[in-house]
Amino acid sequence: MPDIVQNPFAIEPGTVQRGLTRVRALSAGEVVADAAVPLLVWEYSYAPRYFFSPGHVRARLRPAGPGKPSRVLGRSELFDVVLGDRVLAGAAQRYPEAPVEGMRGSYTLTWSAMDTWLEEDEVIHFHARSPYVRVDTLHSSRHVRVVVRGEVVADSHRPVVLTETGLAPRYYLPRVDVRMDLLSPTDAVSYCPYKGTARFRALTVGGVRVPDVVWGYETPLREAAGVTGLVCFWPEKSADVEVYVDGERIGQP
The full DSSP string for 8-28 is TTPPPTT-EEE-SS-EEEEET
Class of domain 16-123: mainly beta
Q: Is the pLDDT of residue 216 over 90?
A: yes
Q: How confident is the model at residue 253 (pLDDT cuts 50, 70, 90)?
A: confident
pLDDT given for residue 205 in this prediction: 95
What is the signed CA dihedral for 114, 191, 9, 69, rounded to 10 degrees? 40
Q: How confident is the model at residue 125 (pLDDT cuts 50, 70, 90)?
A: confident
Q: How confident is the model at residue 1 (pLDDT cuts 50, 70, 90)?
A: very low
- Shared fold status for 16-123 and 135-250: yes
Condensed to tens digits (0 to 9), the pLDDT of residues 28-40 reads 999 999 999 999 9
pLDDT given for residue 11 in this prediction: 84
CATH code for residues 135-250: 2.170.150.40
Asked if 97 and 74 touch (Cβ cutoff 8 Å), the reply is yes
Q: Regarding predicted confidence, which is higher, 4 or 148?
A: 148
- Alpha carbon distance 111, 93 (integer Å): 11
Q: How confident is the model at residue 5 (pLDDT cuts 50, 70, 90)?
A: low
Condensed to tens digits (0 to 9), the pLDDT of residues 224-246 reads 999 999 999 999 999 999 999 99
- Alpha carbon distance 113, 81 (integer Å): 10
pLDDT given for residue 187 in this prediction: 97
Q: Residue ranges per domain, the chain?
A: 16-123, 135-250
Q: Is the pLDDT of residue 2 over 60?
A: no
Condensed to tens digits (0 to 9), the pLDDT of residues 138-147 reads 999 999 999 9
Q: Is the pLDDT of residue 3 over 70?
A: no
Condensed to tens digits (0 to 9), the pLDDT of residues 97-117 reads 999 999 999 999 999 999 999
Q: Is the pLDDT of residue 209 over 70?
A: yes
pLDDT mean over 141-166: 96
